[in-house]
Amino acid sequence: MLQLIVFTPAFALTQPSGNTIPTSPGSINALFDTLEEPLDAVTDAQAPLTVVPTGPVTFTVHLRNAGYVNGFGWYNVTGAVPDPSDLHEVIACSDDVGAEVAIDISSDPAYTGGAIGFFEVVGMCGSVSDHEYLLYSEVALNYGPNDVMYMIQYTSGLDPNRVYFGWEDFPGETDGDFDDLFISMAAEAGPSDTDSDTDVVDTDVVDTEVADTDVPADSEAPVDSEEADTELDVSDKKGKCGCQSGAMPWGWGALSMLFLARRRRG
């Protein structure tokens, strides 16, 4: 069984300016109320992530609160800006609120193995071939001010197999509502997902970064460290996770999700 490493933030996410995000949480909180999600747009916001796909997922469009009509997709994580040929669109600009797209990235011939990231194509009808801006979930790949986050995420409080992605669509720190494009990704539940009664543990880490994902599958012992930077020691996609104090595994039927970007104290 693959596992999701979940962190409950002990502090709000902030941009380089120090602004807490989302700065205007009203529309996201209204959506969570409609979905009966026990989430708060500010206190439950989490930093961008990468994903190791291992089975079918369904993407759903929940909000489009922007002048632009944007697309969304995935790419193979290599540590560099992906080539346009490696930008694989999932949500098209024509997919309105309520649209659902079911795919299995793990069986896609374009998938090279390992982690994937996400991108947003911004335009009046943004697509890979025709857009004004291209923004990535990996913070380091974006142009403009360093460390600006254009995507934030939330782990569902109702379904551990669902996460939400909120996007901004203009370079730099703008209105910060992260509802320009708001979608969810849901994986099929695994057998253990209904058996666990483990609560998420609060953590007070300052930085959370992805460690080497090539750790042998039998490396399960948590790493003991007193440094300010807390790294996840994650095994390959068929093994178990090993993580430091403050992190805990959560059952995930089709995805192993790895936190990527840096969090700061608010």
CATH number of the domain at 64, please: 2.60.120.400
Number of domains in the chain: 1
Q: What is the pLDDT of residue 99?
A: 98
Residue 57 has pLDDT above 70, yes or no: yes
Q: Give which of 161, 160, 180 is closest to 170, Cα–Cα.
A: 180
Q: Which of 3-7, 175-179, 230-234 is the most confident on average?
A: 175-179
- 15 or 215: which leads in pLDDT: 15
CA distances from 167 to 104, 154, 171 (A): 22, 12, 11
In this predicted structure, what is the pLDDT of residue 143? 79
Percent of the chain past pLDDT 90, that is, above it, reads 59
Predicted pLDDT at 191: 55
When pLDDT is cut at 50, 70 and 90, the band that residue 190 belongs to is: low
DSSP 8-class letter at 202? B
Q: Does any domain span residue 157?
A: yes
Q: Is 232 inside any structural domain?
A: yes
- Sheet bearing 207-210, strands edge to edge: 207-210, 229-234, 241-243
The per-residue pLDDT for range 80-102, each reduced to its tens digit, is 999 999 999 999 999 999 999 99
Instruction: Take residue 77 and report the two structure tokens written for it.
Output: 């994580």
User: Is the residue at 189 inside a domain?
Assistant: yes
Residue 21 burial by CB count (10 A; 0-12/13-18/19+): exposed, middle or buried?
A: buried
Look up the domain containing 105 and give its range.
3-9+20-259
Global pTM?
Answer: 0.72
Here the tokens at position 118 are 């996400």
141 part of a folded domain? yes
| Average pLDDT score over residue span 14-28 | 93
Compare 83 and 217 and report the one with higher pLDDT. Answer: 83
More confident residue, 178 or 263: 178
Peptide bond into 22 cis (omega under 30): yes
Q: What is the pLDDT of residue 124?
A: 96
- Under the banding of pLDDT at 50, 70 and 90, the label for residue 223 is very low
Tokens coding 195: 């058996």
How many angstroms separate the Cα of 229 from the Cα of each of 50, 205, 245? 19, 7, 12
Residue 63: per-residue pLDDT: 98
Query: Could you report the per-residue pLDDT of 146-157, keeping only the tens digit for each?
Result: 789 999 999 999
243 beta partners: 232
The confidence band for 10, taking pLDDT boundaries of 50, 70 and 90, is very low
Residue 266: inside a domain? no
Average pLDDT, the chain: 75
Written as six digits, the tokens of 243 are: 């993580």
Answer yes or no: is pLDDT of 194 > 70: no
| Residue of 250 and 12 predicted with greater confidence | 12
| 145 — pLDDT class (breaks 50, 70, 90) | low
Taking every pair of Cα atoms in the chain, the longest distance, rounded to a whole number of angstroms, is 50
